[in-house]
A and B are shown apart, each in its own frame.
Chain A
């Protein structure tokens, strides 16, 4: 949109999501596979096909596999009682981590994400936030499976070593800085949402500079928003 529109940026890469960020809302909307560890009365209404029926107080039986969004899984987390066990999404499991460390560039993070970084960090801080007391005892008791705790340690490996992000950073920068007037759709298709933002920032810098070099920067143009609006009105008339 226009330069006057200041959207709320994502905070998912930090300790907490941004309350008003649309990106973070969509990120925390991604589903996690969970298994119920206790029967949950009255909640069958939310999962019609999983309900135990009226005679069981409309309960979701223990051991039911459900797909819950990240925000709900986080909310139901309980330090004292084990309510859910969460299955670590495949992309964060050992197999994929090996792939990342071999060559992070080959992975299609958009297909696997599209909020790969935000989610992994969200789960990491989440795990750490509740990691009080003895670590080993706690991950037997806690909502999160062992994998997430290993992941908490290895997140630093994923993000800090020249593997996933660092491994991909150079290529993102290269392509965003050099693909001038080229079709970039193939490049962008495999990027996660955060990487797309970076790529676009790089492209904008490149384009602005090229325009300036060609002497186009001083030409007065209507703002993007007004231009788009005018275009649309024009096509409306054609219809």
Chain B
């Protein structure tokens, strides 16, 4: 299975302001710097597995003192979930921008940095954008990814395709 990269791809990375270069996966407490997405999920599994017996203990033997530990792990779970979500979502926002900057065919160097799922998402986005643009302005459609700047001259020549 295709594994998603932990770090933002280098090509996208260097255009970021420095502070966002830090991976959101930086672990707080263990101090270990950048864990991968897989490790984050593993960690969530472990936290869940640790929490389950404690929850049962609280119920069955009335150990109210475990509640802090349960809440603690619970917040770690939510935090990991939030970081994962924000990370994957931000990548999609960047990938969406690629369609407008590079056109519909991406350089292979960029594709290398994307997961299979991200490629699927990109193709889906491309398709719906194309369908939308075809629906504009009569039969021909209108490519709104072109003409990103206002015309240079006040008089413009209009070439109509035959």
**B90 surroundings in chain A (CB, below 8 A):** 7-8, 20, 22
Residue of B20, B85, B99 with highest tally of chain A CB at under 10 A: B20
Give the residue of A23, A39, A76 whose beta carbon is less than 8 angstroms from that of B19: A23
**Total contacting residues, chain A, CB less than 8 A:** 46
Please count the residue pairs between chain A and chain B whose beta carbons lie under 8 angstroms apart in the complex. 119
Contact with A along B28-68 (1 / 0, CB 8 A): 11100000000000000000001000100000000001101
On whether A75 and B101 interact (CB within 8 A), knowing A19-B85, A39-B65, A46-B29, the answer reads no
Contact with B along A204-239 (1 / 0, CB 8 A): 000000000000001010011110110011000000
Give the residue of A6, A38, A47, A225 whose beta carbon is less than 8 angstroms from that of B15: A225
CB-CB contacts below 8 Å: B94-151 with A: 94, 96-102, 107, 109-110, 149
**Total contacting residues, chain B, CB less than 8 A:** 47
A229:B107 contact, CB within 8 angstroms: yes
Give the residue of B16, B26, B101 whose beta carbon is less than 8 angstroms from that of A226: B101
Give the residue of A19, A71, A76, A228 whose beta carbon is less than 8 angstroms from that of B71: A76
A76:B89 contact, CB within 8 angstroms: no
A218, closest chain B residue (CB): B152
B29:A83 contact, CB within 8 angstroms: no
Query: With A and B bound together, what is the CA distance between A71 and B102 in angstroms?
Result: 38
Separation in Å of the B107 CB from the closest CB of chain A? Answer: 7
B11:A229 contact, CB within 8 angstroms: yes
**B85 surroundings in chain A (CB, below 8 A):** 19-20
B71, closest chain A residue (CB): A76
Residue of B15, B83, B85, B98 with highest tally of chain A CB at under 10 A: B15
Query: With A and B bound together, what is the CA distance between A114 and B19 in angstroms?
Result: 9
**A225 surroundings in chain B (CB, below 8 A):** 15, 97-98, 101-102
**B100 surroundings in chain A (CB, below 8 A):** 2-4, 223
B20:A23 contact, CB within 8 angstroms: yes
B68:A8 contact, CB within 8 angstroms: no
On whether A5 and B28 interact (CB within 8 A), knowing A25-B82, A42-B69, A224-B15, the answer reads no
**B110 surroundings in chain A (CB, below 8 A):** 229
CB-CB contacts below 8 Å: A4-49 with B: 4-8, 19-23, 25-26, 29, 31, 38-43, 46-47
Give the residue of A7, A21, A43 whose beta carbon is less than 8 angstroms from that of B68: A43
Give the residue of A21, A41, A47, A196 whose beta carbon is less than 8 angstroms from that of B65: A41
**A42 surroundings in chain B (CB, below 8 A):** 50, 54, 66, 69
Query: With A and B bound together, what is the CA distance between A196 and B14 in angstroms?
Result: 18
Separation in Å of the A197 CB from the closest CB of chain B? Answer: 9
Give the residue of B24, B72, B102, B107 whose beta carbon is less than 8 angstroms from that of A25: B24
**A29 surroundings in chain B (CB, below 8 A):** 26, 28
**B28 surroundings in chain A (CB, below 8 A):** 29, 31, 68-69, 72
A-B contact pairs, 14 of them (CB 8 A): A2-B100, A4-B96, A8-B90, A25-B86, A29-B28, A72-B76, A72-B79, A76-B72, A225-B15, A225-B98, A225-B102, A226-B102, A228-B14, A232-B14
Enumerate chain A interface residues (CB-CB to B < 8 A). 1-8, 19-23, 25-26, 29, 31, 38-43, 46-47, 68-69, 71-72, 75-76, 78, 83, 114, 193, 196, 218, 220, 223-226, 228-229, 232-233
* Smallest CB-CB A-B distances: 3 pairs: A75-B75, A4-B100, A4-B97
